[in-house]
Chains A and B, each alone.
Chain A
Amino acid sequence: MHRDEALDALERADTVGARAHGRGRWYMLFAVLFAATTFALTVTIGLFPSTVTIFTATSVCLVVLACLVTFALRQPVQPRGYGWLHGAAMLGWGTVYGVTLFAGYAFFPEDPVWWVSGAALGAVPPLVAGWLAVRESRNTA
């Protein structure tokens, strides 16, 4: 193999790799929508804790999450590190959400500072995972 052939092969690898990377960026959109949905849910059920509000907000959230899962399952590409990134994001969000809910209802009922802070903190793991997925894609291009 000559130098020109090697350069052509490397260029081909870059082109094909970039196309595949690009299709993995859907995870950032998924992460942003997931973070926004769960932020709204946490704030709503924390600041307006009536049965009707909790039922309605949770139902709307479940519908949005079902749409997000369908969207994720239809993607042709899983970005690099998808398994552990998504697992860590869901574990992080679940932990923050659980603590915010249990401690909030017990010690900070309808306290805007607690509920908005908890909701914002819960949005961090998915957003970080989405950003890392995009960054990983850039690094490997």
Chain B
Amino acid sequence: MNHPRSMLDEVIHSPVRFSVVAALAAVDRAEFRFVRDTVEVTDSALSKQVTVLENAGYVRVHKVAVGRRTRTSLSLTREGRAAFERHVRALRDIASGALDGVPADE
């Protein structure tokens, strides 16, 4: 039997990326600045993390021109939502201590 630690998603595991994905999992789509304020990070820090999530195929970036400005919004892909659900399940298993004593790689 695998320890739930092995079910944790390496991409989502980072605290900022986990918060970004958790915010996006609750909605269909959210504006970049809303996610930035919700997760409490800077524009550049969020950009970097979103790039990682986008490269993993977990997040989709939408850009719409509004006048002279570009409005950027983010949404989870189907893969991203599934990965988040698996990750949360693994966290719940770890939190419940259901599989304590089962060996796993750190």
- Measured between beta carbons, the chain B residues less than 8 angstroms from A24 are 26-27
Contact of A12 among B5, B18, B25, B97 (CB under 8 A): B18
Contact B29 A10, beta carbon cutoff 8 Å: no
Decide yes or no whether A137 CB sits under 8 A from chain B: yes
If over half of A's interface residues share one DSSP class (helix, strand or loop), that class is named, otherwise mixed; here it is helix
- Measured between beta carbons, the chain B residues less than 8 angstroms from A17 are 22-23, 25-26
Q: How far is the CB of B47 from chain A (nearest CB, A)?
A: 17
- Measured between beta carbons, the chain B residues less than 8 angstroms from A141 are 26
- Measured between beta carbons, the chain B residues less than 8 angstroms from A10 are 88, 91-92, 95
The number of A-B residue pairs with CB atoms under 8 Å apart is 81
Contact flags (1/0) for A73-107 with B, using CB distance below 8 Å? Answer: 00011111111000000000000000000000000
- Measured between beta carbons, the chain A residues less than 8 angstroms from B38 are 16, 19-20
Decide yes or no whether B60 CB sits under 8 A from chain A: no
Most buried by B among A17, A137, A141: A17
Contact A12 B15, beta carbon cutoff 8 Å: yes
Rounded to whole angstroms, the CA-CA distance of A76 and B26 in the bound complex is 13
Stretch at the interface among A1-9, A51-59, A62-70, A115-123: A1-9
Contact flags (1/0) for B11-53 with A, using CB distance below 8 Å? Answer: 0000100110011111111110110001100000000000000
Contact B15 A20, beta carbon cutoff 8 Å: no
Contact B27 A21, beta carbon cutoff 8 Å: yes
Contact B94 A6, beta carbon cutoff 8 Å: yes
Decide yes or no whether B8 CB sits under 8 A from chain A: yes
Contact B31 A16, beta carbon cutoff 8 Å: no
Given contacts A3-B94, A16-B38, 12 further A-B contacts (CB under 8 A): A1-B5, A2-B94, A9-B18, A12-B19, A12-B22, A16-B23, A17-B22, A20-B38, A23-B27, A76-B31, A78-B27, A78-B30
